[in-house]
Amino acid sequence: MLPPERRLPQVERYIARGSVLVVHAPRQTGKTTTMKALARRLTAEGRYAALYFSCEAARALGDDVGATERALWASIAEAARHSLPAPLQPPAVRAADVGAFLRAQLVAWADACPRPLVLIFDEIDALQGPALHNTLSQLRDGYNTRDTRPFPHAVILCGLRDVRDYRAAAGADPDRMGTSSPFNIKMASWRLGDFTEAELAELYSQHTADTGQVFTPEALARAWDLTRGQPWLTNALAWQIVEEMAIPVAEAITASHVDQAKERLIQARQTHLDSLLARLQEDRVRRVIEPILTGGLLRGSSLDDDFQYVVDLGLVEPGQPPQIANAIYREVILRVLASPVELNLSVKPRSHVTPDGKLDIPGLLAGFLAFWKQHGETLAQGLGYREAASQLVLMAWLHRVVNSGGAIEREVGVGRGRVDLLIVWPWTDPQGRPQQQREALEIKVWRDTDRRGDPTPAGLQQLDGYLQRLGLDHGALVVFDDRSQAPPVWERSAMEDVSSPSGRHILLLRA
């Protein structure tokens, strides 16, 4: 456990001022843990009566303002009975009209409570439509009239998105929002961030302190590379190693253990991953994710809102250039999008492994080309991510073979104009020593919009740079012809040996 207050270092200063604050972050990043710990500590210090509660009970009530008000107050009263001493708990319910009920109870409680109230509304974005609009309006009205009647000293609205994004959920027109809008309620807004690399190491070191079992420096570095500090992944990865894989305490945890845990985590497709992946078919998510996967450009009139929405979901990093938030999400997304194709593959997982244990890359790509000629285009047309469909079919083929013993590392991103893959395949030499085969592939797609024509020359030059960075003297370039006037697939598909501009041996596959 890391100190929760460290993740919101300025929050107490704003609470002291009596502010309305917004804390937002993707799911499974520790919002609830942090908010509960904050409420407990503020109350224990004796200055405030701080209460955490969830708005989840009102989710199913839809637009019913009266039912939502009463459900929220019931959640507040129940949480107070369990969390606060009797003198700090709210008084009996006061009668009030629909639309003013919540504010009336808060006014009565603030008047009766011997300490300033700090209320934390978790899952505030569970509210929808008029119910959400009304709740925020009552909070704003109560807050703005504190000079004439009691009201909670500070309020924290905690959810998946910033309060400015609640407007659409409440059925409001963003273009008609003035300064009196309930959506202008906040004084400050923070996004709860992921762990830093140092915090990941600190968290894992607590396991070492408790048990004596160490994480090697390579294991820590690999865990950081895979998770980028996403809290749920950081914990789930270590849980797989310590509890599910049950690595003996006397044995150090290595990078290999971390990779095994990653694979188990992806295959298990636990609830957190599934809830994220369910969003992939939303148009506003696809408009951001697809260009990242293909190396294309983000387009669309709602680009800013789409991008922020996907950042708030935690799928994409908030910085520039846009990229998938971490390596595990990237691999899961690609596997899920390619899974309809993989269900149709009859290739055996180790059918392209040579007798000496190496991966037969020419045979692997020749097998793919034969499959593509017969079934590839038909399967690609059935995928929702049409711009990425060709690459997804190839990745499904690679998944089936490479994941039987190796791994695929992918480099994707907006504006790259390509997808780079590195296949890592372990094998054992005749002396019994473990070795590692590394094979690099670059994928390009020839589209109608390509003004420069055939992307092969640019692809060879780009692949040269990728191979130089990897320290490899050979690689493969796959060029999909996705033009509307492309020759039939059985005519254009071919494989040949060529040289890169710097003289590296390249296996060129046209599909």
pLDDT in tens, 336-363: 888 888 888 888 878 899 999 999 999 9
| Higher pLDDT among residues 206 and 386, named by residue | 206
Do 50 and 107 lie in one domain? The reply is yes
Give me the numbers of helices (H) and strands (E) for the chain, helices first please.
Answer: 19, 11
The percent helix, strand, coil of the chain (3-state, each to 5) is: 50, 15, 35
Do both 172 and 229 map to the same domain? no
Segment among 46-55, 164-173, 317-326 with least mean pLDDT: 164-173
Q: Which two tokens stand for residue 386?
A: 């049409």
User: Are 336 and 431 members of one domain?
Assistant: yes
Q: Is it the case that residue 163 has pLDDT exceeding 80?
A: no
- Of residues 59 and 2, more confidence is placed in 59
| Average pLDDT score over residue span 285-293 | 91
Q: Which range marks the domain in which residue 503 is found?
A: 273-510
DSSP state, residue 213: P
Q: What is the mean pLDDT of residues 404-412?
A: 84
Task: Inform me whether the pLDDT recorded for 168 exceeds 60.
Answer: no
Domain count, the chain: 3
What span, in angstroms and rounded, lies between the C-alpha atoms of 380 and 386? 7
What span, in angstroms and rounded, lies between the C-alpha atoms of 40 and 17?
19
466-495: per-residue pLDDT in tens? 999 999 999 999 999 999 999 999 999 999
- Tell me the pLDDT of the chain averaged across its residues: 88
**pLDDT value at position 167?**
53
Please indicate, yes or no, if residue 83 is contained in any of the structural domains: yes
302 has pLDDT over 70 = no
Question: Are 76 and 180 within one domain?
Answer: yes
Q: Which of 9-18, 174-183, 290-299 has the largest mean confidence?
A: 9-18
425-466 pLDDT, tens digit per residue, is: 999 999 999 999 999 999 999 998 888 899 999 999 999 999
Range from 37-41, 73-77, 288-292, 334-338 carrying the lowest mean pLDDT = 334-338
Pairs from 258-263 (Cβ < 8 Å, separation ≥ 24): 258/219, 258/222, 258/223, 258/226, 259/222, 259/407, 261/237, 262/226, 262/237, 262/328, 263/403, 263/407
| Mean pLDDT on 244-251 | 94
Identify whether residues 285 and 316 lie together within a single domain. yes
Domain edge (last residue) among 159, 191, 223: 191
Provide the pLDDT confidence category of residue 497 given band limits of 50, 70 and 90: very high
Q: Would residue 295 count as lying in a domain? A: yes
For residues 208 and 113, membership in a common domain is answered with no
pLDDT at 166: 58
**Residue 184 binned pLDDT confidence (cut-offs 50, 70, 90):** low
- pLDDT beyond 60 at 178: no
Dihedral (C-alpha) 407, 411, 413, 419: value to the nearest 10 degrees? -90
pLDDT tier, 504 (very low <50, low <70, confident <90, very high otherwise): very high
Q: Domain check: are 109 and 126 in the same one? A: yes
**CATH for 176:** 3.40.50.300
Give the pLDDT score at 349.
79
Residues 325, 389: contact at Cβ < 8 Å?
no
Read off the pLDDT of residues 91-114 as tens digits, 9 standing for 90 and up.
999 999 999 999 999 999 999 999
